Amino acid sequence: MAGKPSNNKKGAKAASSPQKNNKRKVAAVEAPSKKAKVAPSKAVKSNGKKAPAKADSESEDDESWAYGAVSESESEAEEMDDEFVSAEEGSDLETGALGDDFLGDEFAASDDDEGGPGADLLGSGDDEEEEEEEDIFASNSEDSDDDDMETKSRKLDAAKKAEEEEAEAELQTNIMLENDKYVLPGDDHEALHSTDLQVVLARIQEIVRVLNNFREMREGNRSRNDYISQLLKDLCMYYGYNEYLMEKLFYIFPVSEAIEFFEANEVPRPVTIRTNTLKTRRRELAQALINRGVNLDPVGKWSKVGLQVFDSPVPIGATPEYLAGHYMLQAASSFLPVMALAPQEHERVLDMASAPGGKSTYIAALLKNTGMVFANDANKDRTKSLVANIHRLGVKNAVVCNYDGREFPGVIGGFDRVLLDAPCSGTGVISKDASVKTNKSEQDFQMLSQLQKQLVLSAIDSVDAGSKTGGYIVYSTCSVVVDENEDVVNYALKKRPNVKLVSTGLDFGKEGFTRFREKVFHPSISLTRRYYPHMHNMDGFYVAKFKKLSNKIPTKKADDGIDLDEEEEFTPITEDSGKRQRGKKTSAAAKAAVTEADEISFNADEDEELIRSSQAKLLQSQKGIKLRPKKAESSKESK
């Protein structure tokens, strides 16, 4: 066929042209013999001579053309070689210089080989043609792919550059906005009275930005109080707090952190459970709940029994494991006071406010059902849930009682350790009870603070300082207000000099305040720990740990050298009544003086000085009155 040889020429032309891509270069290296055989044919054509190895006439069929090289004689092959040499005559290169290196291994072979070199040249047939066609098409397709890749790359570079320019412009805009001074709206400005929360939020953000860089960002002669006053009003409107509570919480934190605290109170805390080690281990419990489709993880490295539940296809409080008492639904913050208390086996422990039983059952688990746990709660209705949880969790060393915590140690005392999770305002659990935002007033905080002070003194008095392993008291609240935390602890340190603060043993948490606004507290209060929802992702909490040094309250010395006990704000518990008598203030020194006067009859003439000293002690302890020395005595002393 006539079309076949023409394609072969195109292939030879393509082979002689410079390579356009790496693939063609590799193909040329792998098949050097093809170039060596095709090059002589092109050389002959360039000199205008007719190549003897040209294809057969058009009358020949495909088979005779494809296998025509096999029927060639040795003479024709030799004639082709002679014409090749003659084509190179007149050049500077000598014929011998071409040698085997130029002609290739096939032409260097002996003419005695079967078929001769001509057979190798013309015998390539359809295989060589197809390979060269494939190379051409592959080159074209790869060239188009390269073009597409270059176009895409240019587009990506242009998009990236545009994005960088846009980001830079936005950054410059933000810098300009940050440098702009915010102007507080006037009292008659309509924006100030707007109820649109988006407008309020924007104003909050602007005021916070000004307060964080007040010296440079404030407007004219505006004071810091002007900005804070407007910010408190906006926060009350945006988050729904009353003004008193908002102000009380706002000053606990820096401005930016206060906003984070209020925002965290709008988000529910993670659901956590505590493994009951009396019945199972955490790994076994986790595996059982995972098999039920519960998605959970350990609550943190600080707890060996806590698990945090992310998702559950079944109610986490109604699983067979829950009903069997393998775990207790309990906030992570409630683990902390029990961990700080660290009860030891065979100890007697009092939980003064124990309902619904999460902390009491945790204490029992740490005791391994040894010793004794006195689970007390002042609310009789709440003791029902306390008893139910004690039975469900398999606690066998607990005694449930219903007393006012202030009646201890009149009811029973001499405990190794006492835990007081005192009733509080609940400012640390606003995410659970949003009603706290509006129903707490100044009177509530005063009442709660007074109750907490009385309870902590009763807790201290209920501990036996002579305990070989104990003598510890833990005070905790679910509040972040200073009035219920550092203020109460500082009061206990003043009223009970026989106790001191020790480390809670908790690895994390923020230190308690030693100075808050106009108040200054004992330096050891830094050993207490605070927990915040925006910092620790748990309910707001406060934990303090006392160590009782002596069962006897040290006395103070008055200015006149008379030893006086520190005046108490409540009547000490008497063994006769077992209840606290309220109303009349007295002191141990005054009672001792009265008892001594009743039991011993003095001779007024002989013991006038002793009687006067006793009366002076009584008056000073009760009413703070100091008797002046008699003139006669003073005149004698002057003489």
- The answer to whether 542 and 512 are in contact (CB under 8 A) is yes
Compute and round to an integer the Cα radius of gyration of the chain: 49
Cα 54 to chain center, whole Å? 84
**Together in a domain, 540 and 611:** no
- CA–CA dist 304, 299 (Å, integer): 9
The residue from 236, 401, 424, 478 that is catalytic is 478
Among 546, 69, 411, 483, CA closest to 249: 483
Read off the pLDDT of residues 542-568 as tens digits, 9 standing for 90 and up: 999 999 999 988 765 444 444 444 443
Residue 280 lies in a domain: no
My answer on whether 572 and 549 are in the same domain is no
The total of other beta-carbon atoms located within 10 Å of residue 630's CB is 11
Instruction: Compute how many other C-beta atoms are within 10 angstroms of the C-beta atom of residue 559.
Output: 7
Same domain, 116 and 16: yes
Q: Is 354 part of any known ligand binding site?
A: yes
356 assigned to a ligand binding site: yes
- Give the pLDDT confidence score for residue 586 in this predicted structure: 42
- 547 neighbors 500 (Cβ within 8 angstroms): yes
622 and 483 assigned to the same domain: no
Asked whether 269 and 538 are in contact (CB, 8 A), the reply is: yes
433 and 348 part of one domain? yes
Please report whether residue 331 resides in a domain: no
Instruction: Judge whether 358 is annotated as a binding position.
Output: yes
Beta bridge partners of residue 375, listed in sequence order: 351, 400
Q: Of the candidates 304, 268, 261, 260, which has an alpha carbon nearest to the alpha carbon of residue 286?
A: 304
Beta bridge partners of 477: 542
DSSP letter at 348 equals E
Evaluate whether 363 touches 312 at the Cβ level (below 8 Å): no
* Among 444, 459, 358, residue whose Cα is nearest residue 404: 459
Tell me the three state secondary structure of residue 310: strand
Cβ–Cβ < 8 Å for 353, 377: yes
The full DSSP string for 63-110 is HHHHTGGGG--HHHHHHHHHHHHHHTTTSSS-HHHHHHHHHHHHHHS-
* CB neighbour class for 141 (10 Å; exposed up to 12, middle 13-18, buried from 19): exposed
545 and 605 co-located in one domain: no
The residue out of 223, 248, 264 marking a domain boundary is 264
Q: Is 353 annotated as a binding residue?
A: yes
- Does residue 525 lie within any of the structural domains? no
Q: Which residues of 318-330 are buried (b: 16+ CB within 10 A; e: fewer)?
A: ebebbeebbbbeb
Number of domains in the chain: 4
Give Cα 283 distance to the centre of its chain.
23
Closest to 422 in 3D by CA, of 507, 541, 594, 332: 541
For 42, the domain range is 3-133
Tell me whether residue 478 is one of the annotated catalytic residues: yes
Q: Is residue 145 part of a domain?
A: no
The Cα–Cα gap between 205 and 438 comes to: 24
Give the DSSP per-residue string, 373-389: EEEE-S-TTTHHHHHHH
Q: What 3-state DSSP class applies to 231?
A: helix
* Residue ending a domain, choose from 224, 243, 264: 264
Whether 67 is in a domain gets the answer yes
- Given 264, 294, 319, the domain boundary residue is 264
User: Would residue 285 count as lying in a domain?
Assistant: no
Q: Give yes or no: residues 550 and 582 share one domain.
A: no
Low-confidence ranges of the chain (pLDDT < 70): 1-146, 171-194, 555-611, 618-639
pLDDT of residue 27: 41
**Residues of the chain above pLDDT 70, percent:** 61
Q: Is 404 annotated as a binding residue?
A: yes
Q: Which helix (H) or strand (E) segment is 133 a member of?
A: helix 125-179
Same domain, yes or no: 447 and 577: no
123 and 96 part of one domain:
yes
- Distance between first and last Cα of the chain: 158
Helices 32-46, 95-108: axis angle to 10 degrees equals 130
The annotation status of 578 as a binding-site residue, yes or no, is: no
Question: Could you tell me if residue 512 is inside a domain?
Answer: no
Long-range contacts, stretch 39-47, CB < 8 angstroms, 24+ apart: 40/80, 40/84, 40/121, 41/12, 41/121, 42/12, 42/13, 42/16, 43/84, 43/87, 43/88, 44/83, 44/84, 44/87, 46/87, 47/87
Kindly state the DSSP code that residue 526 receives in the 8-state scheme.
G
Residues in the chain: 639
pLDDT tens-digit series, residues 357-399: 999 999 999 999 999 999 999 999 999 999 999 999 999 999 9
Write down the pLDDT at residue 462. Answer: 95
What's the pLDDT score for residue 191?
56
Residue 588 backbone phi and psi in degrees, to 5: -65, -35
C-alpha pair distances (Å), 155 with each of 152, 168, 338, 393, 499: 5, 20, 63, 67, 75
Q: What is the dihedral angle through the alpha carbons of 27, 31, 33, 38, rounded to the nearest 10 degrees?
A: -30
Same domain assignment for residues 398 and 473 = yes
The rounded Cα 4 to chain-centroid distance in angstroms is 76
Do 49 and 104 lie in a common domain? yes
| 243-250 vs 255-264: helix crossing angle, rounded to 10 | 120
Residue 471: inside a domain, yes or no? yes
CATH of the domain at 445: 3.40.50.150
Backbone φ and ψ for 271, nearest 5 degrees, come out as -80, 125
Same domain, 549 and 631: no
583 annotated to a ligand binding site: no
pLDDT of amino acid 56 = 43
14 a known binding residue? no
